Amino acid sequence: MTTDTVRPGNRSAGAALLAKRLLALVGSTQGKIATAGVVAAVVAAVVKKRRERAKAHRALMASLSEDEKKALSLRRKNRVAVNSEFFRRLQYLLRIVLPGWRSKEAMLLLLHSSFLVVRTFLSLYVASLDGAIVKSIVEREGRQFLWELTKWIGIAIPATYINSMIRFLESKLALAFRSRLVEHVYRVYMNNETYYRIGNLDGRIANADQCMTEDVSRFCNHLAHLYSHLSKPFLDVLLMTGQLLRLGVQTAGAKSTFGPIGIAAIAVGCTAQILQLTSPPFGKLVADQASRDGHLRYVHSRLITHAEEIAFYGGDKIEMGYLAKAYQALVSQINLIYRERILYVMLEQFLMKYVWSASGMCMIAIPALASKAMLEQQAAAAAAAGAGGAAAAAASKPSSVQGFGETAGERTEKFMTARSLLSTAADAVERIMSSYKEVTELAGYTARVHEMVSVFKDVESGHFERKSLDVEHADPILQGTGTVIESHDDLVKLDNIPVVTPNGDVLVRSLSFEIRPHMHLLITGPNGCGKSSTFRLLGGLWPIYGGTLTRPKRSNMFYIPQRPYLSLGNLREQVIYPDTVEDMRAKGRTDEFLEGVLNVVNLGYVVKREGGWDAINDWHDVLSGGEKQRIGMARLFYHKPSYALLDECTSAVSIDVEGQMYQHAKDIGITLLTVTHRPSLWKFHTHLLQFDGEGGYKFSELDATARFSLKEEKSQLEAQLSGIPKAQSRLRELCQLLGEDSVLLEGGGARPHSSAAVVSSIPSSAADDEVDATGHSESTEATTKNGKQKSGRSRADASRIVLDVSLPIAPGVTPVWPGDPVVEISQQVAIRDGHTYNLSKLSMSTHCGTHIDPPLHLFDGKTAVHDIAPSVLVGPVLVVSLESPTQSSEISADELRAAVARLGCSDLKGSRLFIKTRNSETWTDMAQKLKSSGLLQTDATAPPPPPPATFVALSSGAAQWIASAGVVLLGVDGLSVDPPELEALPAHKILLSSGVVVIESLSLGAVTEGWWECAALCLNLVGADGAPARVVLWK
């Protein structure tokens, strides 16, 4: 065995010795064993780590209960990572974006792949050109250099075109994937009301819009980008490795390739394992970022949608807090991703840039250096065999190797080619390794998009899940399913249908009723009792959990909500929605027909105001609340369905227009199913469905007149009960002032009464008490066991309060309008003169004291006293008080409207109205205050006094408001509804021309606000223009 020595300064000999030792190490059996040992050590470390993880997992599973195991299994199934679940989800989505090999997407993919292959072969050719150019430089071949450089520049033209086409096709492929996926998602989303159910019945997806836009776009972009970045690197690795092996065999023989292969395998294997073990969960991090991004968009959309309400409330500060909180949550997630990337990118760069560069140098050096060592060995062997000194000398020359025929230029060419190939292969492997992070991000988007598509499919098929609903503890009724039958005779029938909200709240356990065409149903009840929910069941928006629902086909039912939806189209499309213009033409409808529809709802002016049917606006801002609701009713008249589901759809429309629209709907054969709180709509319906708010309901025929009477009685009772504490307090004050007691208070006694009003106790039964002619009752007495006496009626049997609000008629007492005849009563026959009876003569005007003014008072040929129906003079009356000390001499329409609204009354049509002002103070002490007011005439020959300055009357506007409100009987506490200085009597003319019967000179000082029962009976004077009246109020 010989020992190699190296002289100092002999670099060629040192390099040869190093090459010889490397070759010996690689080519020897010990070298192969050492290489295999390193690989085995890495594999053993990986296996050991996996076994430790498996052991820890078994220990954890052994300590968990069955429920915890199921929950853990579910979490792992839904975990975002590059695992078998990811590939299953990706395969599912690939079937959507690549429906077949003949599809457009497949053709783009094939074309893109072709360009990638061509680019790889161009990389091989460029690598060989690099070597040839360097060879020509080393060998100082000018012509060859120019020729190789010309080829290098010439190949740059197709190379740059191919690179540009690869980027272009990658973008086109991403767009094609997105278009195909969006088409599929939209088809599912817009089918079977999935767009409604996904947000109202199912709680698995919080922001569907975010998933359908941002997540789908990112998924498709990542998918196309990864295909481009992974397919070419894999192809590069295969081709470059093959080319390197071939070059290594040519240079130093087959044995010299084992070393570089081992180095490459170890470097790549160790890098992959290290990066996999240290990689953060980028998939989950990216999925969480997308979720928080979607939540921020949702908060912004809520702010835009409810901007007006928030502005009215002044909610700027709290909404700013919501926005800041959502944004900070997104920022914190992004910062977390950035921090996780720092160490990972650092480790990735260290391994792939520096470790791999060092490995690459070794891989290049081994074949090149090994070739010289092998030549020297061959030369030594030839010398030992006696081949001659000349041959040995020739073999030892570095510039010309006999065994291989290589020059320095050729070796340089191979070195540069190998370096370029190795650099390309290393870059390809690096891209494959670094793509793992992008694959994990793709896993995040894949999980979100797959969940979205799966949930859409689930909801489309009728299966819903609510995260807030505890299925195990939910009502058993939620486990049932109902049956839906489409009727062919437009029958609506609910048979034992439970009304259940999406949150699992059971509003009604079993609802049953039947409606046929022209049976108009009114639905009433308190808030949250199931009124609108019934419409959602009929419309198919909510699932049926039991019973049988029979309903017409969807096209025969039309739903109008309180806030109708307005589309993005022109004015014509607002009326015909959801029809298109083509659908309208197919039905034979024209713009003239649409104008007629708008005229029915009093919107004919809108076409001209907005600039014609083709005008496009933001209709939610352009139209008022009432106009929007009338557009909804116009759609109803355009479509003319069999049934109209009207959910408080005219709450912002005036009563007269509302009635006009409802009557038109009935006239054209539409059956009404209405949810409303307006009594004015009762008369348009024949049946009533009334919910009690506690799970019960009542279905019956509707008698609108009887129900209206009951409604009035309810309002009166509410007004009476609300005033009881105040009335009792005032009664105590009066008792103290008068030094008397009252039977309505503790320690009963005599009832107070005066000339202005009489408060009497009228018994509820004639058998209990007898009422004398003065209005006082004489109660029977009963004796108790202990001998004490008590009233025949208990206090619990409360007496009714009756007030006489008419003025007494007496000479010198009863007020008259200045210039009218005064009251005269002269006795014609007297008992004191020996006659058996008394008989008096009465002389006065028909408008004396408390009296009634019929229309004949100002208009010839109109209604006289005897023509007034008794039903107008008897019935409920609303008393409003306008006795402010600062009140002007005329009551305005705004004052009167506000006073009525304060009492909760929105509809006075067909009602009676009494107005109490400070005029009633005049009648409190008749004999004293009437004289001081200047209105009392005690002498028929005396001139009439001037009218008082404090006289309160009605303005023309107030009279007009009363007439338009539909009041049939008006009572005032002044001598007239007009001020004394207005001889034209404008208020009289407005009221009487509208058919309103007027009562003047009421004494309302003892009357409280609210509803009372009224009897305003007058003398039945035939053909008279007025008549004195005795007006009584009671509760």
What DSSP character marks residue 690?
Answer: E
Say yes or no to pLDDT of 45 above 80: no
Do 716 and 697 share a structural domain?
A: no
731 shares a domain with 696: no
Tell me the two tokens of residue 754: 């005066």
CB distance 488 to 553 below 8 Å? no
> What integer is the mean pLDDT of 686-696?
88
Q: Which of 73, 72, 70, 86 has the alpha carbon at shortest distance from 451?
A: 86
Q: Are 923 and 756 in contact (CB under 8 A)?
A: yes
* Whether residues 504 and 430 fall in one domain: no
Q: Is residue 793 part of a domain?
A: no
Residue 110, domain member (yes or no): yes
Q: Are 372 and 452 within one domain?
A: yes
What is the structure's pLDDT at 674? 93
> Residue 5 contacts by C-beta under 8 Å, 6 or more apart in sequence?
none
Q: What total number of domains does the chain contain? A: 4
Range with lowest mean pLDDT among 493-497, 746-750, 926-930:
746-750
Closest CA to 972 of 894, 1015, 920, 1024: 920
Q: How far apart are CA 646 and CA 632, in angstroms?
A: 10
Q: Is the pLDDT of residue 3 over 70?
A: no
Kindly state the average pLDDT of the residues 265-279. 73
The rounded percent of the chain whose pLDDT value lies above 70 is: 67
pLDDT at 1016 over 90: yes
> Which range scores top for mean pLDDT: 13-22, 60-69, 456-465?
456-465
Question: Looking at residues 910-937, what average pLDDT do you find?
Answer: 67
Is the model more confident about 953 or about 38? 953
Query: 780 lies in a domain?
Result: no
When pLDDT is averaged across residues 800-807 and rounded to a whole number, the result is 83
Least confident of 112-121, 128-137, 319-328: 128-137
**pLDDT at residue 445 greater than cutoff 70:** yes
| Whether pLDDT at 55 is above 90 | no
Nearest-angstrom CA–CA distance, 456 and 466: 14
SS3 call for 516: coil
pLDDT tens digits for range 858-891 = 888 888 998 898 889 999 999 998 876 455 678 8
Distance CA 85, CA 36 (A): 35
Is 552 in contact with 642 (CB distance < 8 Å)?
yes
Residue 542 in domain = yes
**463 touches 192 (CB < 8 A):** no
> Could you tell me if 850 and 732 lie in one domain?
no
User: Which CATH number is 208's domain given?
Assistant: 1.20.1560.10
CA neighbours within 13 Å on the CB side: how many for 743? 24
| Cα(217)–Cα(991) distance, integer angstroms | 70
- What's the token pair of residue 254? 């087959």
Read off the pLDDT of each residue in 168-193 and give the average, rounded to a whole number. Answer: 88
What is the distance between the alpha carbons of residues 414 and 364, in angstroms, rounded to a whole number? 10
* Residue 158: HSE in the Cβ half-sphere, 13 Å Cα cutoff: 14
* pLDDT the model gives residue 720: 63
Q: Which residue's structure tokens are 């791999």?
A: 356
Name the residue with higher pLDDT: 398 or 147. 147
Q: How confident is the model at residue 1029 (pLDDT cuts 50, 70, 90)?
A: very high
Helix, strand or coil for residue 38? helix
Single residue among 409, 430, 460 that ends a domain in this structure: 460
CA distances from 10 to 7, 17, 215, 365, 839 (A): 6, 11, 66, 19, 165
Q: Between residues 497 and 62, which one has the greater pLDDT?
A: 497
- Whole-number Å distance between alpha carbons of 86 and 442: 9
- The SS3 call for residue 645 is strand
Same domain, 120 and 154: yes
Q: What angle do CA 244, 245, 247 make, to 5 degrees?
A: 65
Q: Which of these, 751, 840, 847, lies nearest to 803 by C-alpha position?
A: 751
Whole-angstrom Cα distance, residue 509 to residue 691? 12
Q: 195: which 2 tokens? A: 């767009």
Rounded Cα gap, residues 100 and 574, in angstroms? 41
pLDDT band at 6 (very low <50, low <70, confident <90, very high): very low
Q: How confident is the model at residue 478, as a pLDDT?
A: 76
Please report, in angstroms and rounded to a whole number, the separation of the first and last CA atoms in the chain.
135
* Containing structural domain, residue 945: 824-1034
Closest CA to 676 of 563, 532, 542, 536: 532
Residues whose CB is less than 8 angstroms from the CB of residue 408 and which lie 6 or more positions away in sequence, other chains included: 138, 139, 398, 399
Single residue among 435, 460, 485 that ends a domain in this structure: 460
Residue predicted with more confidence, 465 or 762: 465
Instruction: Note whether 174 and 225 are within 8 A (CB).
Output: yes
Q: Average pLDDT for residues 599-614, to the nearest whole number?
A: 90
pLDDT over threshold 60, residue 543 = yes
Q: 646 and 698 share a domain? A: yes
| Burial of residue 519 (number of CB atoms within 10 Å: 0-12, 13-18, 19+) | middle
Q: Is residue 775 part of a domain?
A: no
Do strands 483-486 and 1010-1018 pair parallel, antiparallel, or not at all (unpaired)? unpaired
Q: For residues 327 and 330, what is the distance between their CA atoms, to the nearest angstrom?
A: 5
Q: Check whether residue 889 and residue 1013 sit in a common domain.
A: yes
pTM over 0.95: no
Quote the CA–CA distance of 827 and 499 in Å, as a whole number: 77
Same domain, 426 and 501: no
Phi/psi at 885 (nearest 5 deg)?
A: -60, -30
Q: Give yes or no: residues 741 and 687 share one domain.
A: no
Among 4, 501, 49, 33, which Cα is nearest to 262's?
33
User: Which phi and psi angles does 644 have, rounded to 5°?
Assistant: -120, 120
pLDDT of 293 reads: 84
Residue 698: both structure tokens together: 């009542």
Q: What is the pLDDT of residue 33?
A: 54
The answer on pLDDT for 976 being more than 80 is yes
In tens, the pLDDT along 391-435 reads 444 444 444 333 344 566 566 656 666 666 666 666 666 666 666
Look at the block and give the residue holding tokens 């939806």.
Answer: 565
Indicate the residue type of 571.
L
Statement to judge: residues 890 and 856 lie in one domain: yes
Q: Residue 566 corresponds to which tokens in the numbers above?
A: 């307005």
Report pLDDT for 746: 53
Average pLDDT over every residue of 486-504: 88
- Split at pLDDT 50, 70, 90, the class of 639 is very high
Burial of 191: CB neighbours in 10 Å, binned 0-12, 13-18, 19+: exposed
| pLDDT score at 676 | 87
Residue of 295, 275, 327, 329 lying closest to 438 (CA atoms): 275
Is 1004 among the domain residues? yes
92/127: higher pLDDT: 92
CB contact set of 812 (below 8 Å; sequence gap of 6+): 823, 936, 937, 938
Rounded to the nearest 10 degrees, what angle do helices 84-97 and 142-189 cross at? 90
Task: Name all contacts of 253-256 with Cβ < 8 Å and 24+ positions apart.
Answer: 253/374, 255/26, 255/27, 256/23, 256/26, 256/27, 256/366, 256/367, 256/370, 256/371
Same domain, 363 and 248: yes
Is 191 within the bounds of a domain? yes
- Tens of pLDDT, residue by residue over 656-688, are 888 889 999 999 999 999 998 888 888 889 999
664 assigned to some structural domain: yes
Find the CATH number of the domain harbouring 871: 3.50.30.50
